[in-house]
Amino acid sequence: MLRSVDEAQEERKRGDGKMDKIKAIWIRKDEQRRGAAQFPKCGANVGNGAAGRRSPLIAPERLKDFGEEELLTGGARLTGATATGATVVVVGGPEITLMQVPKTRRLSEFRVVPRPPVEYLRFQDISDAALRIQTAIQRTPCTYSRLSKQYGMEIYLKKEQLHYTGSVKERGVLNLLTCLPQVREREREDENAAYLAGLGTVGMEIHEQLPKLDAVVVPAAGQYALLAGVAAAIKHLHPQVLVIGIEPDGFPLLSQSLKADGPIKDLHSNPNRKLYGDLVERSLGVNTFQLAKKLVDKVVSVREEDSLVAMLRFQEFERSTVDTEGAMGLAAILAGQLPELRGKRVAVVVSSANMELELVRQCVDRALVLDDRVSKFSVQLGECPGDMARLLDVLSREDVRLLDVCHRRQSEKSDLFKAKVECVVEARDKAQSVQLRKTLSDRYPSICWLDR
């Protein structure tokens, strides 16, 4: 059906009127949207992590319709700007400072700023280690020693040899194993901070068991980490308490390192490896040395003979068996190398008691000789009946033990009808030994006391 020309024109007019109405509606909505699309100020409150309301997204081709400058500056117009960065004056708004363009710098112009040194072992590490191992490590006693009155000071023995393994190392190793998920670097055991912190718990227990203390004596042979850990704990809790390290004179690694102001790798010495074992094969780490240099007040070297006598004192007065490392602390006191501790309250750390039974027997026998408790002498007797009996009768009246006797006939012509008798006897103490020597020397002028 064909429409007339007039009808088509009227329909076109009606369509143009509808488009005008639609444009008017768009303009009103755009004005409302442009008025609400204000950027929030820098000081506006931010709630629940939101940074204010964002303006609605507008197609780039329509920015000119809504005023590009007004939309981006929040209704303000820019009057000018510089390319290198300057303060921009904004009409109807605050001043805006543009960012400076960074200059290109050469690599040589950058200076490397060293990080401040971090404290290697903190007291908090030791405290955490104590909580970590308290359910698996027994609390060792710190008992009053019967030797206190004999040497003029209050001696308390921290008996670390009572651990299941017989060594204080159990503390450090257990704490190290519990920290393995956090420890990523493979390093020496005695250089590990977790191992040092575990050994430092000994110092915390000493402080809790003996609050009023004047000095702590710690063995240092092979256990430099023990000395460093205990010193770190004691000096934090009581800075005025003396911390003294003891090491064998045959292997004075710590003393020589302190003189050289650095850890010595190769120390030319000839210690008794059968007696000290692997203690003389341990080296001194850098971190352990720095802690010992900073916190240890004194380092003393003791002789092998003094350590053996100290082992004997432990068996007689403390009813316990320790090795040479565990006896070194008491050995320094027995040898009189710590006169400044007389009349003071002293804690001695007994670190270990790991020694073979046969070696213990040999050490005790040697210590009895060094302590003048076992004596060996030779005397010439005639072959008349009763001469040997009279000698044995003298020994019986002096109440000494006869350990060994050897009867030899003389082969020299001038010693005809003579016999040489060698005896090994044991006395209760030095006083009885002195009395025995006097009695035998008066009765047998030809007696010969053999050297130790």
- Walk along the chain (452 residues) in steps of 10 and give the mean pLDDT of each run: 54 59 54 49 44 49 49 48 47 52 48 44 84 84 89 90 85 83 52 84 93 92 85 93 92 89 78 73 80 93 93 92 91 94 94 88 92 91 84 92 84 66 90 92 89 65
3-state secondary structure of 47: coil
CA distance 401 to 426: 5
For position 17, what pLDDT does the model report? 59
Could you tell me the pTM of the whole model?
0.65
Residues of the chain with CATH 3.30.70.260: 373-449
The DSSP H or E segment spanning 407 is strand 401-409
**Amino acid (one-letter) located at 362:** Q
Which residues does 159 contact at the CB level (< 8 Å), separation at least 6? Answer: 140, 141, 142, 143, 320, 350
| Cα four-point dihedral sign 199, 205, 211, 216 | negative
For residues 406, 410, 415, 421, the Cα torsion angle rounded to the nearest 10 degrees is 0
CATH 3.40.30.10 fits 123-368, yes or no: no
| DSSP-assigned beta bridge partners for residue 217 | 244, 348
The residues that bridge with 425 in the sheet, in sequence order, are 375, 402
The whole-angstrom distance between residue 403's C-alpha and the CA centroid of its chain comes to 47
Q: How far apart are CA 169 and CA 185, in angstroms?
A: 21
Using only C-alpha atoms, what is the Rg of the chain? 45
Give me the sheet containing 154-159, strands edge to edge. Answer: 142-144, 154-159, 345-350, 215-219, 242-248, 298-302
Positive or negative CA dihedral for 330, 336, 341, 342?
positive
Q: Quote the CA–CA distance of 102 and 442 in Å, as a whole number.
A: 104
Distance CA 290, CA 115 (A): 19
User: 373-449 belongs to which CATH class?
Assistant: alpha beta
3-state secondary structure of 49: coil
Tokens of 142: 């710190």
Residues 6+ apart with CB under 8 A from 419: 380, 381, 382, 383, 407, 408, 409, 410
Intervals of CATH 3.40.50.1100 along the chain: 123-368
139 Cβ neighbours under 8 A, 6+ residues apart: 205
In this prediction, residue 1 carries a pLDDT of 43
DSSP assignment letter at 394? H
- Please tell me the distance from the alpha carbon of residue 237 to that of residue 244, in angstroms, as a whole number: 16
Q: What's residue 71's pLDDT?
A: 45
pLDDT at site 383: 75
